[in-house]
Each structure stands twice: as C-alpha cells, then as structure tokens.
Amino acid sequence: MRRIKGPGRPILPQEGRSALLASLRAVDHVVVFDELTPARVLQTIRPHLVVKGDDYNLDSLPEIRILEDWGGQVVIIQRLPGYSTTDLINAIKK
C-alpha cells in the first residue's frame, strides 16, 4: 500500500485491516501480499470473485485477464461516502 499511496500509508496496519475485512460475513478469505499487483496470489488461490472499490475501473485492472482463465470475475462496488482514508487524512491536516 505504501508503494502505491505514498509515505504515511496505510494508517491502519495490515493486521487490523485484515481482521476488519475477515469479520465481514460476506468475506471468505483475506490475503495480504507484497507485490504491486495480486496476480501471483490470484493464480494460486483462483477465486471466483474479486471485489474492488469504485476508485478502480475494469479497464485498468490487469487481474481481470487472469481471473478469466478459470471463469472468475471482478466486481466494482460503490464506496460509502465519508469513509475515505484520504479524506480523513486531509481533514486532520486542516
């Protein structure tokens, strides 16, 4: 995350983020990986569904082609207003 979003990120350590996501009833597994893309992890676990927030778009996700190999898909969901870490950081800085 730090390589993508810059220094000072993430705010919540990966253990906390993973625990939060894993506690959701709709989440089967949470995988933490060190690469810039999840390509290797996806090829290993071969999920049927990968969910991304609407700050991504289907045209910019290389993992779509990987998932197609076994019929998996990426679903883009709308983020909830007011739950942006970037917005929270900016509000704190003011």
Please give the average per-residue pLDDT across 67-93, as a whole number.
87
Q: Which domain holds residue 28?
A: 2-93
How far apart are the two ends of the chain, measured CA to CA in Å?
Answer: 24
Q: Are 73 and 48 in contact (CB under 8 A)?
A: yes
Q: Residue 78 is encoded by which pair of tokens?
A: 């709308």
16-73: per-residue pLDDT in tens?
Answer: 989 999 999 988 889 888 888 888 999 999 999 998 888 888 888 888 889 999 999 9
pTM over 0.75: no
The total number of structural domains in the chain stands at 1
DSSP-assigned states of every residue in 13-24: -HHHHHHHHHTS
Residue 1 pLDDT > 70 = no
Confidence of residue 10 (pLDDT cuts 50, 70, 90): confident
